[in-house]
Amino acid sequence: MLCALADRGQASPRFAVPLNCNRDQLPAGPPSSIIGAQPGPTRIEELFMRRYDLIIRGGTVATAADTFSADLAVKDGKVAALGLGLDGADREIDATGHFVLPGGIDTHAHIEQIASNGMLNADTFETATRSAAFGGTTSVICFACQHRGDSLKAVYEDYSARARRGAIIDYSFHLLLTDPTPTVLNEELPPLVAEGNASIKVFMTYDLMNIGDEALLDILLKARELGALVAVHAENNGMISWLGKRLVERGYTDAKYHAVSHPRASEPEAINRLIAFAELLDQPVIVYHVATGEGAAVIREARGRGVKVYGETCTQYLFLTAQDLDRPGGEGAKWVCSPPLRTTADQEALWQALALGDLQLVSSDHAPYTLDERGKYAHGHVPSFKRTANGMPGLETRLPMLFDAMVTRGRFGINKFVQWTATEPARIYGLGDRKGTLAIGADADIAIWDPSQRVTLTDDLVHDNTGYTPFAGRTITGWPTTVLRRGETIIADGECQAAAGSGAYLPRRGGEAATPSGRLSPEFDPERNFGAKLY
Ligand SMILES: [Zn+2]
């Protein structure tokens, strides 16, 4: 990859005279007395020489809709032109034989987050977002995570300060509610949503995080009032808690029993309940990390009758199964995440659900823990699955794993790859006006992919702080070799060139995805509820 033919601010010699343009035929510029004693370039020369900051030349550009050969020009951090034979930039990147794609958007990542058991995850904003950038991801939505008793405002300010200090890519927050008191819902939440945090995350499971049915209804109704999307971890807490105890009592504590302890039915049960609530109030929701075919089928059925429900799955549910948990010693702990990994039949069902549009996007659910007593092995080197930190790293490997499957191996192709990893995440979460595609005027967040680069994933290769990747040992083809954020090169030649704190906060409005459908349920429709005003 050729980079930086000329420094910013100095015209490259090849542009000293505009191409295809005879200097003698140019109109005269302003009198030299106006611009100083040294005659500078004419106005038209200036325009030709300095029209763009950067041209990415000769690549194959792909969006969710189209694939075409074109040069892409960047000005002031935005996509300024797509065309053939573009000229007049301070700097060029030769993308011959490469794909020029929108940078990835990962809408589900836990960064510098404290778990409900008090454990801090392995990454800082700097290490997490650096690893994301190496993998071609240029925007992330992470969490401002309230624990019970916390002020949401204080929590948000703390996460904001950490992100401002560390983030290398652009970022935004979901407001994660575990304690929706009247003060939180009525006083703290509205200004935070209005400021640009137009999504709320809730858990229907985990003993210390789950909110009951009535609190979930309170949150859905408040989100409707504020125009925020509600994102939900949907599993049945009672089934998981009950079965987990029964397994442990009988001595089944290895990592593989984690998959057993979350019965398959816990997912479709909770998704179905969530959708019933969302339909009652006509409030859009997105179901996080759908892992079973039955879960995806519940979403399909609801979408078929017009409910505004969206669905996400994650890289690990497309490429790993419960068998990965079945390792000797404590090694299976690396693959403990919730919902747990399922079967190859589920993988197939999830791909089909993506293809049908029942699920719209693939995120990482990056939840990084180190392989030591600070993380996965805080409770011994062969920990009970009940005492193993939940989650795995994935910000960096999400796009390369999917590129290999979808582009290199050809399943669904490059346009769907862009759609599921950038365009739909941007659209659903209210970033579509500036992120997720390569349109004129969009932020120049660009990943340039070498489709022929073969990479064997190893624990050493990834840049997050966990020290491992759940995909170690796989050889994949296709890698993002150069990554730009708002026109600035942040990854090139295997190096990160961006400073901690150079990522920008992305305020988001709810947008179309978060707007109620207008189809009122009988209970909330004054024409059918005997005139009761419930909104
Ligand atoms: Zn998560």
- The CATH number linked to 211 is 3.20.20.140
- Residue 33 in this model has a pLDDT that exceeds 70: no
For residues 125 and 73, membership in a common domain is answered with no
Is 520 in contact with 280 (CB distance < 8 Å)? no
**Res 207: pLDDT:** 85
**Res 15: pLDDT:** 32
| 521 falls within a domain | no
For residues 92 and 111, membership in a common domain is answered with no
Give the residue with greater pLDDT, 209 vs 197: 197
- Please give the distance, rounded to the nearest whole angstrom, from the Cα atom of residue 316 to the centre of ligand 1: 12
Domain limit, last residue, from 77, 97, 117: 97
| 6 falls within a domain | no
- Please give the distance, rounded to the nearest whole angstrom, from the Cα atom of residue 516 to the centre of ligand 1: 25
**Res 130: pLDDT:** 98
- Please give the distance, rounded to the nearest whole angstrom, from the Cα atom of residue 109 to the centre of ligand 1: 6
- Please give the distance, rounded to the nearest whole angstrom, from the Cα atom of residue 242 to the centre of ligand 1: 22
- The CATH number linked to 31 is 2.30.40
pLDDT tens for each residue of 499-510: 999 999 999 999
- For residue 114, name the pLDDT band (cuts at 50, 70, 90): confident
> Among positive and negative, which fits the CA dihedral 62, 68, 69, 72?
negative
User: What value does the mean pLDDT of the chain take?
Assistant: 92
- Residue 272 in this model has a pLDDT that exceeds 80: yes
**Res 5: pLDDT:** 34
- Residue 7 in this model has a pLDDT that exceeds 80: no
- Please give the distance, rounded to the nearest whole angstrom, from the Cα atom of residue 528 to the centre of ligand 1: 39
- For residue 208, name the pLDDT band (cuts at 50, 70, 90): confident
| 454 falls within a domain | yes
Distance between CA 502 and CA 77 in Å, rounded? 13
**Poorest-pLDDT segment among 23-32, 420-429, 463-472:** 23-32
pLDDT tens for each residue of 43-68: 666 655 679 999 999 999 999 999 99
Distance between CA 110 and CA 121 in Å, rounded? 8
| 533 falls within a domain | no
For residues 199 and 221, membership in a common domain is answered with yes
Domain that includes residue 339, residue range: 104-514
- Please give the distance, rounded to the nearest whole angstrom, from the Cα atom of residue 108 to the centre of ligand 1: 6
| 3 falls within a domain | no
**Res 18: pLDDT:** 34
- Please give the distance, rounded to the nearest whole angstrom, from the Cα atom of residue 91 to the centre of ligand 1: 40
For residues 261 and 228, membership in a common domain is answered with yes
For residues 26 and 120, membership in a common domain is answered with no
Whether the predicted model's global pTM rises above the 0.85 cut: yes
Is 532 in contact with 526 (CB distance < 8 Å)? yes
For residues 394 and 489, membership in a common domain is answered with yes
- Please give the distance, rounded to the nearest whole angstrom, from the Cα atom of residue 201 to the centre of ligand 1: 9
What DSSP character marks residue 239? Answer: H
Which residues lie near ion ligand 1 (Cβ < 5 Å)?
Answer: 365
Give the residue with greater pLDDT, 434 vs 26: 434
Determine the average pLDDT of the residues in 473-477. Answer: 98
- Residue 464 in this model has a pLDDT that exceeds 50: yes
- Please give the distance, rounded to the nearest whole angstrom, from the Cα atom of residue 433 to the centre of ligand 1: 26
For residues 140 and 53, membership in a common domain is answered with no
For residues 91 and 115, membership in a common domain is answered with no
Structural element, H or E, at residue 74: strand 67-75
- Residue 247 in this model has a pLDDT that exceeds 70: yes
For residues 368 and 502, membership in a common domain is answered with yes
| 7 falls within a domain | no
For residues 325 and 415, membership in a common domain is answered with yes
**Res 388: pLDDT:** 95
Beta strand segments in 84-218, E: 89-94, 99-102, 104-106, 137-145, 170-176, 199-203
Structurally, the chain folds into a number of domains equal to 2
| 530 falls within a domain | no
For residues 189 and 217, membership in a common domain is answered with yes
**Res 119: pLDDT:** 82
The amino acid present at 386, given as its one-letter code, is: K
- For residue 30, name the pLDDT band (cuts at 50, 70, 90): very low
**Percent of the chain residues topping a pLDDT of 70:** 91
Cα dihedral 184→186→188→193 (10° resolution): 120
Q: Which residues contact 270 (CB under 8 A, 6 or more apart)?
A: 204, 205, 234, 235, 236
**Res 124: pLDDT:** 96
Beta strand segments in 347-445, E: 361-363
**Res 120: pLDDT:** 83
Is 290 in contact with 353 (CB distance < 8 Å)? yes
| 531 falls within a domain | no
**Percent of the chain residues topping a pLDDT of 90:** 88
Q: Which of 516, 517, 514, 522 is nearest to 280 (CA)?
A: 522
Determine the average pLDDT of the residues in 151-168. Answer: 97
Distance between CA 222 and CA 368 in Å, rounded? 31
For residues 335 and 471, membership in a common domain is answered with yes
Cα dihedral 201→202→205→206 (10° resolution): 80
**What would the DSSP string read from start to end of 83-136?**
ESS---EEEEEE-TTSEEEEPEEE--B--SPBPTTSPBPS--HHHHHHHHHHTT
